[in-house]
Structure 1
Amino acid sequence: MPNTSITQAADYIQQADALIIAAGAGMGVDSGLPDFRGNEGFWKAYPALAKAKMDFTQAASPDTFVRDVKLAWGFYGHRLALYRNTIPHEGFAILKRWGESKAKGYSVFTSNVDGQFQKAGFAADNIYECHGSIHHLQCLEPCSATIWEANSFLPEVDHEQCQLINKPPLCPYCNQIARPNILMFGDWGWISDRSDQQAEQLQLWLQRCNNPVVIELGAGTHIPSVRRFSEQVVNSFNGKLIRINPRDYEVPLQNAVGISMGAKAGLIAIEQVIKPQQ
């Protein structure tokens, strides 16, 4: 028999008229993406940065592009290639089926920059990437507010040294260094126009929902962007919340349930309850 949390989550999903997927970094772990929780996990993925004692906040900074562009693009170029080659896990397909079955459809709110939801077939117009996307570029300066796709940039990276081997991408307008259109640490140059437009679309959609359910997956407490969004939907839009996280799964709200599991395992467990009832 499934536990009561799984059963409650299944009931929330079946009763909802709209599905909101709120995904943090833990969503990608089951697809084989590295977990950057703490320096230990980060340095295991990037041994050259461990040797230099450079933590994630230093590597993911526009200052690094100014000081050492080969290292900065070694880090982001490796991630770009990794995300391009990663196959989204089964949980993405489960969420897509649930979302497409709802009268008001679905929307995605994610702090991830990896583009895995688009790769899994989710409609781009239904996705809000609050920290931007590694698959888009902007000028480092920036010389303008232009954002463009990174499709033509094929990074060649010496992973052991975390160094870009080929030439970094350049801004097509001023011919200076380009960077990912991602909100980094200590970042005053991020062009948020694309993300702002996504946010506006999500808010307009939320206003049309009567009984939404938020499924929050792999969202930690260190940078709580996703958790704050999930709880705001419950408080402002009469929503319900399913929080799936192997560690920080407690929910201090009514109309909410916490499930102590990884994203993929939690979604499969809920799906097994829903299917016999259909």
Structure 2
Amino acid sequence: MEANQGWETLLTIGAEEGDVHLYGKETMEGIWEFSRTLVDNEESITAVGSVKGWENALSLLDDYSWLELYPIYIDERLRAHVAKEVLTTSIHHKDTFMAWADRCFPDVNSNIVFAANWIQTAGSTVVLTGAGMSTESNIPDFRSSSGWWKQIDPRTVATTEALAGNYPLFQEFYARRIEALKDIDPHEGHRVLASWEQLNLIDVIGTQNVDGLHAAAGSNNVHELHGSIDKIRCDDCDMPAEKIAFVENEACFQCNGKLRPNVVLFGEMLPQKAWTKTLEAIEKADLVIVIGTSLEVYPVNQLPNMTSGRTIYINAEISDVTHRFDIVIEGMAKLTLMEINELVLRSA
């Protein structure tokens, strides 16, 4: 189309048979009209009728799987409309997706764009979280040197041996953890995951954390793989007890046995129901997102291997487990989830 007719090139896409052009012009009434042409390799021009309104412009490309083709030019006025399609359409070829992502989101890490696209195009998504998900709520990482207490590696306290052989140390450690959690709130990353559940973008959260922050943020379908520190029971007779009774170092009111948090200690089995439901969800999932875990602890570290779907790994420190994942994003959980969510919100 000739520029002197008032038509402007808004989008050019490279195809095998030639270039596809989307043109637009503003009418005398102030309404934008759009048309599409194909300029084949022999410079022959085939024009297709027109539509009106920016929201309808891209419908002229419906005859093509146009996002599987290569972008050559995107006008700034059309960019937001194209970007929404890029974020919400399953694009099969990685190189093509990268080209569209670079054109639409030049200042965003391409793996963040991939993650936003995969989350919105997956039929079923499971999230698996570890200690790194909670540290930004100022909870010390259980497995880091900064999480040590009284110069003791917490892993030597959170054991069946400590419960049986050094109960005063065990009780004081967990009582202090319970007290510390009173002033802890979920961070924005927890709330992002809760919002994705409400939008039906994720189905299940399996967590190694015992702090209850996912539920506090509003997530409903949470499976606590290592139990919950908020629930107290007797280690001898299994009778439930009040949290305050454990904190104040009382004995079981029924059998005078030792009270304990209902968390999984080293040397104990995982809760069967939580494990089974998480495993079943992962086996059916199109996408599994692992956040804030070093994947050192068995058997939870085996769960990402149980999916035939895509996988994303988000962690502040990247280790040699990353070869198991399709996308690896090095970063803190809260900021990374907020960056992905910013793109998700653009698609709403």
Normalised to the residue count of structure 1, the TM-score between the two structures is: 0.77
Quote the offset at 1:139 in angstroms.
Answer: 2.4
CA contact (8 A) 1:27 1:263 kept: yes
Amino acid paired to 2:340: I
Correspondences of 1:1-278 after superposition (within 5 Å)? 1-38=107-144, 40-43=145-148, 46=149, 49-50=150-151, 54-102=152-200, 106-123=203-220, 126-140=221-235, 142-143=236-237, 146=238, 148=240, 150-153=242-245, 155=247, 166=248, 168-187=249-268, 195-203=271-279, 205=281, 209=284, 212-223=286-297, 225-233=299-307, 235=308, 239-248=309-318, 251-253=322-324, 256-278=326-348
Amino acid paired to 1:64: A
Aligned to 2:25: none
Unaligned runs of 5+ in 2: 1-106
Aligned residues: CA RMSD:
2.5
Q: Is the deviation greater in 195-204 or in 25-34?
A: 195-204
- Partner Cα distance (1:269, 1:139) in 2: 43
CA contact (8 A) 1:109 1:226 kept: no
CA separation of 1:273 and 1:138: change in aligned 2, threshold 3 A? same
In the TM superposition, what whole-angstrom CA distance separates every residue of 1:191-230 from its partner, at most 9, and x where no partner exists? x5xx2122333455557x5x53222110114325444212
- Partner Cα distance (1:64, 1:149) in 2: 20
- Partner Cα distance (1:20, 1:199) in 2: 13
Quote the offset at 1:154 in angstroms.
Answer: 6.7
Quote the offset at 1:273 in angstroms.
Answer: 1.9
**Which structure has more strand as a fraction of its residues?**
2
Amino acid paired to 1:61: T
- Partner Cα distance (2:303, 2:216) in 1: 23
Quote the offset at 1:149 in angstroms.
Answer: 5.9
CA contact (8 A) 2:194 2:214 kept: no
Unaligned runs of 5+ in 1: 156-165
Quote the offset at 1:118 in angstroms.
Answer: 1.6
- In the comparison of the two structures, how many residue pairs are matched? 241
Normalised to the residue count of structure 2, the TM-score between the two structures is: 0.62
Amino acid paired to 2:276: E
In the TM superposition, what whole-angstrom CA distance separates every residue of 1:108-136 from its partner, at most 9, and x where no partner exists? 1111111111221222xx22222211112
